[in-house]
């Protein structure tokens, strides 16, 4: 799961014993955790906490950014990276004790992200860094991206199963695009890559993928060639987004509407699984064996598809392997939110038992195929969901529109700015089963992960805290 920054606190207790580097220090934890203001149902008198570094600002909204905290759910670990990428530490989710530490090769001026991927080889922790080589000896300093893959079940002093050095041109600003089963590195524009490197965490293999022309069915009365660009990688292959350029009405003047869509590896294409009458399909996120997509009946080529109050958006959960729809719901929003490939990845989660899925401002009961909208209306604010439990109880942040590119993207979770206090945010508890929502007390933090045993993981600008259910 991607890390999330929710608020700022004045002080904290440190499980690591080193405020400058939350991943350094002894393996014991403090006697009493920091008591964050959290919803009822969590015991803040027990559990554990550690200091956290502010996360680097993500310059390319829609990518996965530079999270410093991730959860490995199968291994029951909370994984934390130092902001400069000099160390990674894995804590037991339940006890807070250090399970392993990892020290990578040095990289100067590093921007760091830590991610968790699951596959047949088990869970892998991916440490991704952008910085400069040292330039020692006869070697000149150069920009570089390094990828280290560490097994989640490593011994106390972990080593990288795979280490990759990706040289970057001076005029390129790469970004990380991560799902729980795939990893891309490359520049991002409007949620897609013209060229990217796919990293296989299980084998360490890397390959370059590029925008390409493919022929897809369901364009007008037949098939059509489209330019498909890589958006994100999954266990079923790279998901590529496309936009029909020819043989359609680009200006919505009564001709055949143009098609937006996507292709999942070489397995299936959105035009073959679209809900009836839908010609615009945007792949928003992947969680486990599900892909979440947004659908419209038609749109013009001049505007990016958006969630609005003038036209319903169908949000659907698809089987990643087949494209079959597992659940769907129709929603509108009083906020104009751009629908972009991958934009809801940071807010898409499955409950531990797999019965419920949240994505952006929508929640789905996969056992019944029903969904509920938690978008804004003329009288209520939208809720950006952050975590969901096995009984369908979910938590979220009340959406604050501040005219930035990040908040205008549907499903985008907030990331704190460096060196500034994060303003307090309102939060809410919702039921994915019934669609009801209730505001939480002012400034209450919400979990970014909920474990099957009731533990909740909370992440503020300064603290990572884990509390058991009460």
Q: What is the mean pLDDT of the chain?
A: 87
Assess contact for 451 and 442: CB atoms under 8 A: no
Looking at residue 9, what is its pLDDT?
26
Assess contact for 394 and 388: CB atoms under 8 A: yes
Looking at residue 1, what is its pLDDT?
41
Asked, for residue 57, whether it belongs to a domain, the answer is yes
Strands 306-307, 195-199: pairing is: unpaired
CA distance 53 to 429: 27
Looking at residue 224, what is its pLDDT?
86
Strands 183-186, 195-199: pairing is: antiparallel
| Chain-centroid distance, C-alpha 382 | 19
Two structure tokens written together for 419: 């060196």
Specify the residue for token string 């004790």. Answer: 97
Point out which residues pair with 206 in neighbouring strands.
199
Neighbours of 47 (CB within 10 A): 24
Q: What is the pLDDT of residues 42-72, one digit of tens each?
A: 999 999 999 999 888 776 767 898 999 999 9
Two structure tokens written together for 99: 């399970």
Residue 22 has pLDDT above 70, yes or no: no
Asked, for residue 9, whether it belongs to a domain, the answer is no
Looking at residue 19, what is its pLDDT?
41
Assess contact for 80 and 72: CB atoms under 8 A: no
Asked, for residue 417, whether it belongs to a domain, the answer is yes
Asked, for residue 292, whether it belongs to a domain, the answer is yes
Looking at residue 288, what is its pLDDT?
96
Ranges 127-131, 190-194, 218-222: which has the least confidence: 218-222
Asked, for residue 39, whether it belongs to a domain, the answer is no
Percent of the chain with pLDDT over 70: 86
Looking at residues 318-344, what average pLDDT do you find? 96
Q: How many domains does the chain have?
A: 1
Contacts of 139 (CB under 8 A, 6+ apart): 133
Residue 241 phi/psi, 5-degree rounding, is: -100, 145
Assess contact for 182 and 232: CB atoms under 8 A: yes
Percent of the chain with pLDDT over 90: 66
Assess contact for 304 and 190: CB atoms under 8 A: yes
> What is the DSSP secondary structure assignment for residue 152, as one 8-state letter?
T
**Where is pLDDT greater, at 172 or 32?**
32
Looking at residue 6, what is its pLDDT?
32
Assess contact for 348 and 390: CB atoms under 8 A: no
Domain containing 213 equals 48-467
Residue 424 phi/psi, 5-degree rounding, is: -60, 140
Contacts of 267 (CB under 8 A, 6+ apart): 236, 237, 321, 322, 323
**Where is pLDDT greater, at 266 or 221?**
266
Assess contact for 216 and 223: CB atoms under 8 A: yes
Specify the residue for token string 């680097």. Answer: 56
Looking at residue 421, what is its pLDDT?
47
Q: Assign residue 435 a region: left if phi > 0, alpha if psi is -120 to 50, beta otherwise?
A: left
Asked, for residue 380, whether it belongs to a domain, the answer is yes
CATH number at residue 305: 2.130.10
Q: Is 345 helix (H, G, I), strand (E, B) or coil?
A: helix
Asked, for residue 42, whether it belongs to a domain, the answer is no
The pLDDT confidence band at residue 403, using thresholds 50, 70 and 90, is low
Looking at residue 24, what is its pLDDT?
56
Residue 437 sits at the vertex; the CA angle it makes with 431 and 443, to the nearest 5 degrees, is: 115
Asked, for residue 25, whether it belongs to a domain, the answer is no
Q: What is the pLDDT of residues 259-268, one digit of tens each?
A: 889 999 999 9
Assess contact for 353 and 71: CB atoms under 8 A: no
Two structure tokens written together for 270: 């959105």
Looking at residue 127, what is its pLDDT?
98
Ranges 43-57, 69-83, 408-422, 442-456: which has the least confidence: 408-422
């Amino acid at each position: 799961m991607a890390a999330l920054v929710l608020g700022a606190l004045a002080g904290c207790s440190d499980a690591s014993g080193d405020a400058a580097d939350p991943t350094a220090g002894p393996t014991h934890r403090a006697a009493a955790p920091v008591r964050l203001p959290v919803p009822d149902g969590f015991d803040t008198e027990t559990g554990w906490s550690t200091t956290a570094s502010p996360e680097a600002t993500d310059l390319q909204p829609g990518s996965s950014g530079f999270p410093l905290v991730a959860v490995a759910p199968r291994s029951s670990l909370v994984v934390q990276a130092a902001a400069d990428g000099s160390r990674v530490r894995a804590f037991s989710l339940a006890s807070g004790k250090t399970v392993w530490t990892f020290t990578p090769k040095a990289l100067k001026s590093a921007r760091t992200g830590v991610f968790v991927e699951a596959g047949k080889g088990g869970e892998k922790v991916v440490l991704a860094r952008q910085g400069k080589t040292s330039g020692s000896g006869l070697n000149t300093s150069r920009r570089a991206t390094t990828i280290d893959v560490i097994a989640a079940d490593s011994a106390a002093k972990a080593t990288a199963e795979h280490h990759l050095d990706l040289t970057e041109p001076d005029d390129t600003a790469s970004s990380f695009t991560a799902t729980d089963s795939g990893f891309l590195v490359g520049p991002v524009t409007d949620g897609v890559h013209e060229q990217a490197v796919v990293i296989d965490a299980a084998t360490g293999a890397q390959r370059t993928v590029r925008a390409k022309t493919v022929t897809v069915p369901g364009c007008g009365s037949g098939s059509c060639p489209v330019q498909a660009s890589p958006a994100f990688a999954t266990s079923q292959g790279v998901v590529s987004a496309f936009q029909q350029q020819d043989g359609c009405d680009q200006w919505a003047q009564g001709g055949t509407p143009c098609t937006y869509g996507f292709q999942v590896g070489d397995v299936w294409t959105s035009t073959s699984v679209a809900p009836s009458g839908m010609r615009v399909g945007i792949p928003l996120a992947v969680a486990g064996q599900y892909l979440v997509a947004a659908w419209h009946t038609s749109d013009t080529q001049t505007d990016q598809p958006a969630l609005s109050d003038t036209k319903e958006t169908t949000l659907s959960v698809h089987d990643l392997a087949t494209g079959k729809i597992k659940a769907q719901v129709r929603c509108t929003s009083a906020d104009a939110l751009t629908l972009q490939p991958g934009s809801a990845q940071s807010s898409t989660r499955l409950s531990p038992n797999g019965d419920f899925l949240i994505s952006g401002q929508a929640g789905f009961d996969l056992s019944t195929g029903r969904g509920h909208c938690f978008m804004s209306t003329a009288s209520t604010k939208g809720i950006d969901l952050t975590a969901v439990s096995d009984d369908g109880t979910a938590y979220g942040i009340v959406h604050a529109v501040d005219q930035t590119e990040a908040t205008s993207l549907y499903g985008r979770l907030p990331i704190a700015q460096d060196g500034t206090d994060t303003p307090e945010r309102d939060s809410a508890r919702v039921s994915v089963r019934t669609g009801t929502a209730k505001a939480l007390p002012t400034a209450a933090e919400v979990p970014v992960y909920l474990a099957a045993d009731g533990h909740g993981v909370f992440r503020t600008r300064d603290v990572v805290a884990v509390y058991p259910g009460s």
